[in-house]
Structure 1
Amino acid sequence: MHLISDATGETLNTVARAAMAYYADYQPVEHIYALVRTPKQLSRALAEIESQPGVVLFTLIDTELRAQLEKRCGELTIPCISILDPVIASLAQYLNAQSRPQLGGQHALNAEYFRRIDALNFTMIHDDGQHAEDLDQADVVLTGISRSSKTPTSIYLANRGIKTANIPIVPNIPPPKELETVTRPLVVGLIASAERIAQIRKHRLLAMNEQGETDYVDQESIAAELSHMRKLCARHGWPIIDVTRRSIEETAAAVINLMRERHEAKGSDS
């Protein structure tokens, strides 16, 4: 697959991988060409397409570059698809307005961009229980036992502009008092099966060149940690997400849905 973009190519990458998920028996080989904005840059991509033919997906604003790409792909009888065309055409019809393309417009340094940067900074500072004294400034607080995907989920949410802190629940160590007194953020508990947690913890110990059976990797001990975690969440009415078979993206989507439901509930109460 050849992915050609005049910006960062993030949109193309996402669409290509989502489409390939429907063909699990095949392993895609991606050729990525980002920031293609001149005929010389496009010619390099075309040379590789000719030498290694494959489906071409693109997002190009420049009409001459687009015409050159479509013409050459037509000569090579290679599928060439502008992935945004159907959406743009539908919007034009619905809004009865002409589109005004802006190169890299989705990456503009606007208020939304700086909101995401602010959220990332907050999330990095408040990782793994740090700076719990200002936990109430978060939008979301994720809590859970070790290796329940708190940090990667927090970072993914921060990339969506959501200030996220995460608090580990450690055996025999009480969580910071601020966790149980926050009022502003949504607090969500993350759990997984004891088997899955044990597997991840063992891999972590191996990566750190540490060996030996300890309570940290013992499934019965982990089950006790999870039981304590569930009771803590039940006591405070915090929702729980089981991440055993969820990707980070799916867990984050579930958190965002909980945020929306909470917001809608507050709106109906007011």
Structure 2
Amino acid sequence: MSGEKVAQPAYFHLHLVSDATGETLINVGRAACAQYSNVLPIEHVYPLVRSMTQLERVLIEIEGNPGIVLYTLVDKEIRERLKQRCRELGVPFLSVLAPVVQLFQAYLGGEPQPRIGGQHALDATYFKRIDALNFTVMHDDGHLTEDLEQADVVLIGVSRTSKTPTSIYLANRGVKTANIPLVPNVPLPANIEKLKKPLVVGLVASPDRIVEIRQNRLLGLNAANPSASYVDREAVSEELAYSRRLCARHGWPQIDVTRRSIEETAAAIIGHLSERRRRSIVET
């Protein structure tokens, strides 16, 4: 209806206080905010808060911009000071890990041993992630295809199906990922159809979505005289049809990324990878 006002998003201050990197708080806070379509947070992130002096600076910010306070603080004295001041200011506060740790304690028994930034320890898992990132960066966009057998996952797909960002996200989960572009009239690496260890996954999308992304890409690059077929819907449809036929011929799973976020695409790939590994264990 003309003249009808569209509701504007409401804003609120979200204070995230951590004695480590603050990544856990950021993820939890954003996941909670995503449940409210018309509410947006103004994030105040305070990492590495490990002294009373640092905390006092944070409390000044909270007092000046009252809102929700989420925290992960190991030091009891710092934690109690934050809680006390939040009560005085009348602002809501919550330790995001406390309920989870209490649940673990009730089930496992014993006393937890809090460690600042414990999830970021330089252990085997951490170095596995770094190794995966190095591998993935070196094998981006069809590079170094001769050693694809070392990958955990190989992504294939036409241009602008989010192969690179998905690869990087998977690498951050410790999954060595290579990606190969499907380019018209350019043959695939000869060894890709003979791979044994890696899971090969095809990424596809709707022709309209691919054309839209490619057009925006060209505008961003100020590309002059681009190939007409690059943004032609019929040509793009044929590219995608070839991709689907290729995957069907080899039994490679396909994931439609048209309406998926990078995180959702990566989760689906990890699901395929886990199922493949489970079947392998059962068969042996």
TM-score band, normalised by shorter chain = over 0.9
Within 5 Å, give how 1:56-205 maps onto structure 2.
56-205=69-218
* CA displacement 1:172-229 (0-9 Å, x = unmatched): 1111011111110000000011011011111111111114571001111000000000
Match of 2:245 in 1: 231
Q: What letter corresponds to residue 245 of structure 1 in structure 2?
A: R
* CA displacement 1:103-149 (0-9 Å, x = unmatched): 11111111111100000000000000100000000000000000000
1:23 aligned to 2:45?
no
Q: Following the alignment from structure 2 to structure 1, what is the Cα–Cα distance between the partners of residues 28 and 234?
A: 42
2:223 pairs with one of 187, 210, 220: 210
1:245 aligned to 2:259?
yes
Give the number of equivalent residue pairs: 270
Q: Following the alignment from structure 1 to structure 2, what is the Cα–Cα distance between the partners of residues 138 and 147?
A: 22
Calculate the TM-score normalised by the size of structure 2.
0.94
Q: What letter corresponds to residue 96 of structure 1 in structure 2?
A: G
Structure 2: which 5+ runs fail to align?
Answer: 1-13
Q: What letter corresponds to residue 272 of structure 2 in structure 1?
A: L
Q: What letter corresponds to residue 15 of structure 1 in structure 2?
A: V
* CA displacement 1:9-53 (0-9 Å, x = unmatched): 000000000000011101110000000001111111100100000
Aligned-pair RMSD on alpha carbons? 0.8
Q: What letter corresponds to residue 281 of structure 2 in structure 1?
A: G
Q: What letter corresponds to residue 146 of structure 2 in structure 1?
A: E
3-state SS of paired residue (1:196): helix
Q: What letter corresponds to residue 267 of structure 2 in structure 1?
A: A
1:260 aligned to 2:274?
yes
Structure 1: which 5+ runs fail to align?
Answer: none
Q: Following the alignment from structure 1 to structure 2, what is the Cα–Cα distance between the partners of residues 176 and 97?
A: 55
Match of 2:54 in 1: 41
Q: Following the alignment from structure 1 to structure 2, what is the Cα–Cα distance between the partners of residues 231 and 223?
A: 12
What's the CA shift for 1:239?
0.1
Q: What letter corresponds to residue 226 of structure 1 in structure 2?
A: L
Could you tell me the percent identity over the aligned residues? 59
Q: Following the alignment from structure 1 to structure 2, what is the Cα–Cα distance between the partners of residues 179 and 203?
A: 31
Q: What letter corresponds to residue 266 of structure 2 in structure 1?
A: A
Q: What letter corresponds to residue 152 of structure 1 in structure 2?
A: P
3-state SS of paired residue (1:55): strand
What's the CA shift for 1:266?
1.2
Q: Which moved more, 1:258-267 or 1:247-256?
A: 258-267
Q: Following the alignment from structure 2 to structure 1, what is the Cα–Cα distance between the partners of residues 271 and 122?
A: 27
What's the CA shift for 1:269?
1.3
Q: Following the alignment from structure 2 to structure 1, what is the Cα–Cα distance between the partners of residues 58 and 224?
A: 48
Q: What letter corresponds to residue 204 of structure 1 in structure 2?
A: R
Q: What letter corresponds to residue 259 of structure 1 in structure 2?
A: L
Q: Following the alignment from structure 1 to structure 2, what is the Cα–Cα distance between the partners of residues 178 and 120?
A: 22
